[in-house]
Chains A and B, each alone.
Chain A
């Protein structure tokens, strides 16, 4: 697989009255054609902000962006962060596309579905309006909208939530982009519709050999579709690895905390207590000097000399292709977690 997008040392800062908000702090990630990278984090972790920067969708007057985001196009690599806005505009929709959480506010209520898809098509293709509508019908067919030839003339309000998200996907893919960034694409949908949309995205990815970045907070969705995962906390990537490594061999206390705190439908019933992570994430204005997760971390007592409070750990390769931002070694985290679990089981008995 060839790498398509490479983000290096991305910083995104919003100056505000209360001080600068460092929403994305030295973030690096990459995704290859045909691969799905999931970026996981809670609200305010910076997962959307970083990807909006890649798409060139931040207001340049109110945002400071530094770093690199290189698209490896067939005609040569290009850094979209330093490229002219006009160049980036011509890549949007063609080389890279994005779909959003709320398909209602992303569609224009006054125009028919067909017009909106045809408009996106006409940006990069020569042809009459009829050609555009014809292409829109093809796309609606592709994303599984029944009776596409008729529904292409309908308005967004005539579609259900799941159908609107299909329309958004059709619009995003109308020019065969190599990269699709999906920002919480199923969060607003019901579970039965969610599984339809995830299945559709996976099928289309295979068909067009797309690189997909899935931004989500739902670890169940991640388990279903991702090849690799980057976990973000407080503007930084804290762990990054192949999917099974993240779920079964995590070397970061925050990732472990998240996995422990979610109830599972296939698990024991009532009476067990959820292992919640205490406290809440720090403000992005006064980022702690040390590890951002230190105040909530249950592993902190295993690190000597207040190191976690004093210095922020680097993102280091703890196992082959498994990066983690923690003062403990990977083996230490795994070992302590196993002991904690055994201790808890004894307590339960």
Chain B
């Protein structure tokens, strides 16, 4: 891969928690993202997976600079944008776009589809050849919607169609990178596949790079070139999709994969499961040492005191574990 479109170096995003009330005092911090490094090449899809509360959504939003990073670097096309102001970010906004999980909440109910999709042209002062309306019609057609529906409102569309509207809006300015935060998890199974295929097609056509944030490992496996597994704000393992799914090295990755049910009853009857005990610890008060030590079946004394550093064990394969598989 010639150049990376996006690089994160030890990215951190901590949220202060306060005691509330009139004279609120800082009580502590939630380390939502605590040292995430990854890179995305041109035309590549990187899946960011983990359970709820692991910080994957916060990481995605920090990349978009919807949150100001606490520490670390965000390098977009070779330029360090970590601490750019809103104004400085403007030229980059057209090159990085976001698709959201909830196709109901992410579209303004009082605006027509034409206004929603066409808004980015106005914001960036871009006049597409043939006018905004024609450009929007082309976009709608491209994402599989009827261009005649340009004057309809979001409530007139189904969930899958609304997600297509969100995608049309995201690709309007021909961005280079799209951060997709759980783009298909609110959709029905038969509609999910349609939207996943659409994202595939658009990537081929426009050479897009995706940061695909999701909890559904089967979808991530299908769409990603590489996968980054997060747990409590930290990266546990990061590897090319095939090797990660064929031979996970981190105990957490292994447990996560084994927990995903496979739609194949004969296989399910013989498959051995790793059943993790308990729940995710609170990110307010993460365990000392390796954050996974409270649920890991291979835990030893060292894990409770020493934080395992990410180590490269093969090309593109990093791992943060004292006792890998």
Contacts and interface: CB of A to CB of B under 8 A. Distances in A.
A275 interface: yes
B197 A273 contact: yes
B52 interface: yes
A234 B5 CA distance: 45
Given A243-B265, A270-B223, A262 B259 contact: no
Given A220-B263, A224-B268, A265 B217 contact: yes
Contact of A247 (B241, B257, B265, B279): B265
B217 to A, nearest CB: 5
B194 to A, nearest CB: 4
B255 interface: yes
Interface string A193-230: 11110110000000000000000011111111010000
B263 A262 contact: yes
Interface of A: 42-43, 160-163, 190-196, 198-199, 217-224, 226, 243-244, 247-248, 257-259, 261-267, 269-270, 272-278, 280
Given A191-B217, A264-B218, A277 B190 contact: yes
Interface in B246-262: 255-257, 259-262
Question: Of A247, A263, A273, A280, which is in contact with the most chain B CB atoms at under 10 Å from its CB?
Answer: A263
B261 A263 contact: no
A262 B215 contact: no
Contact of A162 (B200, B267, B273, B279): B279
Given A191-B260, A270-B223, A276 B265 contact: no
Contact of A244 (B52, B161, B188, B266): B266
B275 A196 contact: yes
- The list of the 10 closest CB pairs from A to B, nearest first, reads A220-B261, A276-B193, A263-B222, A261-B193, A190-B51, A42-B188, A274-B193, A219-B263, A277-B190, A191-B259
B163 interface: no
Contact of A195 (B158, B189, B193, B273): B273
**B interface SS class:** helix
Contacts of A262: 189, 192-193, 218, 263
B276 A217 contact: no
B246 to A, nearest CB: 9
Contacts of B200: 273
Given A219-B263, A224-B261, A43 B196 contact: no
Interface in B190-241: 190-194, 196-197, 200, 215, 217-219, 221-225, 241
Question: Of B45, B218, B245, B273, which is in contact with the most chain A CB atoms at under 10 Å from its CB?
Answer: B218
Contact of A265 (B193, B242, B260): B260
B160 interface: yes
Interface residues of B, number: 46
Nearest to B50: A190
A275 B266 CA distance: 22
A226 B161 CA distance: 32
17 contacts: A191-B256, A194-B259, A196-B276, A199-B275, A223-B261, A261-B189, A262-B192, A265-B218, A265-B245, A266-B264, A269-B241, A269-B242, A269-B245, A270-B45, A276-B194, A280-B158, A280-B161
A223 B263 contact: yes
Given A190-B52, A275-B193, A280-B158, A195 B275 contact: yes
Contacts of A258: 189-190
Contacts of B215: 190-191
Contacts of B160: 280
A221 B241 contact: no
Nearest to A263: B222
Contact of B261 (A190, A195, A261, A269): A195
Given A192-B256, A270-B225, A280 B191 contact: yes
B241 A193 contact: no
A261 B192 contact: yes
A40 B240 CA distance: 34
Interface in B166-207: 188-194, 196-197, 200
Contacts of B273: 195
A240 B197 CA distance: 30
B190 to A, nearest CB: 4
A42 B219 CA distance: 18
A267 B224 CA distance: 13
A262 B194 CA distance: 11
Given A247-B266, A269-B242, 15 more contacts: A43-B188, A190-B215, A190-B280, A196-B275, A217-B188, A226-B265, A261-B190, A263-B221, A265-B217, A270-B223, A272-B222, A273-B200, A276-B196, A277-B190, A280-B160
A263 B219 contact: yes
Contact of B221 (A226, A265, A273): A265
B210 to A, nearest CB: 11
A218 B192 CA distance: 12
Contacts of A264: 218, 262-264
A161 B188 CA distance: 22
A270 B279 contact: no
Given A247-B265, A280-B158, A191 B51 contact: yes
A243 B58 CA distance: 40
Contacts of A274: 193, 196-197, 222
A49 B158 CA distance: 20
